[in-house]
Structure 1
């Protein structure tokens, strides 16, 4: 029990420091000092500052997405649901110091990308489940085309993740609008409403 407590204290200390001062200004010594554990204890649980940041980032990202999804009015059209989700996620990512590291810090983007390459990390997310559930619902209610295989529809939305992961290539000044336009075009192409 005490081991989980130390790991949790390190995690919470890191989260708070990343929120307060960002990735670059936070170091392992500050994390352990705030958690009231020895520096050596940190390395029992985490290989590096980068690893703990990734875990904090993932938890923060998942928390933000759950909150956003809980506030979406699912009675809207598919286009409005997807648009509302993307706009809220972009706004939250800009406002949250931990999430904004993905956009501001190339080093952090690379660290996150390395971890995201792990098999099934995207498919095991809450948003992925939310998306699949709604795609199925939109197909059943006749809002999405049925002549396109479900796997193909999912692949179209997965393309948005690829765009998200290649934001540097697109350019940060264009990224939010490109993501929103692509999502809109995908939904328009799948929609049965004219």
Structure 2
């Protein structure tokens, strides 16, 4: 196995078990059996390695959620399941949970946008679902695709401020907001 892959795997293991803050480059180098200087031949910083690992974890999350969905269910049920699975997985995965790390969030968000563009993991899933539901007549036609996507994006933005909202109520709040949005978007009488 090449050194970069070994560093990546050791970084993943340490970030997964200890989190971003409690993992340092010397821990990663030691586990990988390399000198700290060798680490810098492959990654410019702990953050760069973490961001690459984060993107892979996020891709795995999207794949898992997508594979677990029954696309024949109604849109409200599907979105409820996406939100529930996303919250559950993020809260149980120390790598994905770093999305809520205020010290890291903006930098991670910026890196993610540079690397992935507008095809955010969950955003890409919603975009595909919107097209499918529109073709099936299951979602309102009086709202354009960009605004429809913005409704789902708003859940992500709210999600990044859960501490201000209150952790105690947040999981229920985000689920209700997703349900309310979907009920409004599937109301064909508008």
Shorter-chain TM range is: 0.7 to 0.9
Runs of 4+ with >3 A deviation? 108-111, 118-122
Partner of 2:11: 14
Moved more, 48-57 or 169-178: 169-178
- The TM-score normalised by the length of structure 2 is 0.87
- Name which of 184, 187, 190 aligns with 1:192: 187
- Unmatched segments (≥5 aa) in structure 2: none
- Name which of 114, 125, 138 aligns with 1:143: 138
- Name which of 111, 114, 117 aligns with 1:115: 111
Q: Alignment RMSD, CA only? A: 2.2
Partner of 2:86: 89
Moved more, 86-95 or 41-50: 41-50
- Name which of 20, 25, 28 aligns with 1:28: 25
How many matched pairs?
Answer: 189
- Does the residue aligned with 1:97 lie in a helix, a strand or coil? coil
- The TM-score normalised by the length of structure 1 is 0.85
Q: Check conservation: 2:26, 2:36, Cα contact below 8 A.
A: yes
Q: Check conservation: 1:164, 1:179, Cα contact below 8 A.
A: yes
- Unmatched segments (≥5 aa) in structure 1: none
